[in-house]
Amino acid sequence: MNTFKRLFIALMFSLVSNMVHAGDVIIDDHAALGDLKVGKGVFLVDIGDAKKLNFYLEVIQGTFNGMKDQGVAPDFILVYIGPSVKYLSTSPSTAIEQQAGGVLMDIEANVDALAALGVRQEICAVATRVFGIDNKTILPGLTLVGDGFISLIGYQAQGYHLVPVF
């Protein structure tokens, strides 16, 4: 085979190969992350539906892992306020158990999984008081704070970026 044919075949192979790869869509967040080394986020968790709360706890774990996979160290804090606190007790009322539709153990497992990732999780004492949750019964892995709004203000002042989860 002459040199021209070899060159032509190599060129065609290269073009076809590039066309195949051009169809592969790379999905990442490089435009947003840039050369960020640490991603500091404070998640305001204010969800009154147990299934939705559980879903978002799973999504946050995915966000943590996705950021880590893209070379950015996630530094996350969750601050639970409002009706979310009803589902974060070791002794929920019968009404809350019924309302939760069987996902309380999943919520607890997701709280544990987030804690295992090193995610700080705070629960607002104002909310536990309003929703009648005994502070002695909050799930392990949660830190009771005086006021979730104060936590949010403080963490934002420390460079954490607010991620509202409603």
Per-position DSSP letters for 21-84, written without gaps between them: HHTSPP---HHHHTT-SEEEEEEEE----HHHHHHHHHHHHHHHHHHHHTT-EEEEEEEE-GGG
Per-residue pLDDT of the chain (166 residues; tens, 9 = 90+): 565 555 545 455 554 445 444 567 889 999 999 999 999 999 999 999 999 999 999 999 999 999 999 999 999 999 999 999 999 999 999 999 999 999 999 999 999 999 999 999 999 999 999 999 999 999 999 999 999 999 999 999 999 999 999 9
- Do the domain assignments include residue 43? yes
Domain holding 142: CATH number? 3.40.1260.10
Domain count, the chain: 1
- Do the domain assignments include residue 154? yes
Phi-psi region of 82 (alpha: psi -120 to 50; beta: other; left: phi over 0): left
Angstrom distance (rounded) from CA 28 to CA 25 = 10
pTM: 0.85
- Do the domain assignments include residue 119? yes
